[in-house]
């Protein structure tokens, strides 16, 4: 045995760090992912309706809460901001799509157990980031309300709508609020569109997952922003009938996001 070979045996090869590789996607990929998402919902409707139903009930519970607390005017900003936690709520749907894609059996208890186990992994930190963003949204609404409508009074939702749509201060509040909200939504979309399914599938930290997600958006800005518009319009349509539309909208978007993730992030090769 030569000295070189002895040295090679004595010094084990260094493993490359696991850095997810991002691939560009096109509008055709978005369509394919959407069709795959619809197919997953059709193949496992009970799972989709279950998780979508929980999400819709959560929205209704929050609306009831703001009414009980005597702040019914918060219904509109809460209804707009609530879907921000959608990526977190769709965790179970990602697991369903993963099982369908890999041919693993769908067992309700195993899917729920998988979601429950995420509380001890990096996914819990990602959930904190998403919930924090929702809190920031609610806080900035109250801040802008104090700045632009501090001297206005309204005790009901119709009164609030009347003020913000018929007064200069109200219109300015709406304009600034929607601009700030759009920026927050775009930021959250960029850091979660890939990171949440990535954390469920691979053993990476949540910061790496968020960076990978932002890279995915930057790599394919037009298709990804188009997907963001589709998500936004679909969620708005789902919210209008007292959140009931989200029972179907959430699972379809969740399944689609999983398939889009598999197109955006290259498989990890040991």
Tokens 């760090």 locate to: 17
Those residues whose C-beta lies under 8 Å from the C-beta of residue 34, and which sit 6 or more positions away, are: 230, 252, 256
Q: Which two tokens stand for residue 57?
A: 């009930």
Distance, C-alpha 200 to centroid of its chain = 13
Which residue ranges in the chain fall short of pLDDT 70? Answer: 1-18, 72, 80-84, 151-155, 269-270
How high is the pLDDT of residue 120?
75
How high is the pLDDT of residue 87?
73
Reduce the DSSP state of residue 156 to 3 states and report it: coil
Those residues whose C-beta lies under 8 Å from the C-beta of residue 98, and which sit 6 or more positions away, are: 104, 200, 201, 258
d(CA 51, CA 38): 15
Q: What is the 3-state secondary structure (H, E, C) of 199-233?
A: HHHCCCCHHHHHHHHHHHHHHCHHHHHHHHHHHHH
Buried b (16+ CB within 10 A) or exposed e, 130-161: beebbebbeebbeebbeebbeeeebeebeebe
């Amino acid at each position: 045995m030569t000295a070189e070979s002895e040295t090679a045996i004595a010094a084990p090869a260094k493993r490359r760090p696991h850095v997810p590789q991002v691939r560009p996607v096109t509008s055709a990929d978005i369509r394919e992912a959407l069709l795959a998402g619809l197919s997953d919902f059709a193949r496992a409707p009970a799972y989709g309706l279950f998780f979508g139903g929980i999400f819709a009930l959560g929205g209704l519970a929050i609306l009831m809460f703001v009414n009980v607390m005597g702040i019914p005017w918060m219904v509109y900003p809460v209804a707009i901001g609530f879907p921000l936690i959608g990526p977190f709520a769709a965790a179970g749907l990602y697991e369903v799509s993963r099982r369908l894609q890999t041919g693993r059996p769908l067992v309700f208890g195993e899917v729920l157990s998988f979601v429950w186990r995420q509380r001890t992994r990096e996914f819990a930190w990602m959930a904190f980031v998403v919930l924090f963003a929702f809190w920031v949204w609610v806080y900035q609404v109250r801040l802008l309300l104090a700045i632009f409508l501090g001297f206005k009074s309204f005790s009901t939702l119709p009164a609030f709508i009347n003020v913000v749509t018929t007064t200069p201060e109200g219109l300015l509040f709406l304009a600034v609020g929607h601009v700030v909200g759009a920026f927050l939504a775009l930021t959250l979309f960029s850091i979660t569109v890939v990171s949440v399914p990535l954390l469920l599938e691979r053993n990476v930290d949540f910061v790496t997952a968020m960076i990978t997600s932002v890279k995915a958006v930057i790599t394919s800005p037009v298709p990804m922003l188009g997907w963001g518009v589709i998500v936004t319009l679909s969620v708005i349509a789902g919210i209008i009938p007292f959140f009931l539309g989200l029972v179907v909208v959430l699972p379809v978007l969740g399944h689609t996001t999983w398939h889009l993730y598999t197109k955006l992030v290259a498989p990890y090769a040991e």
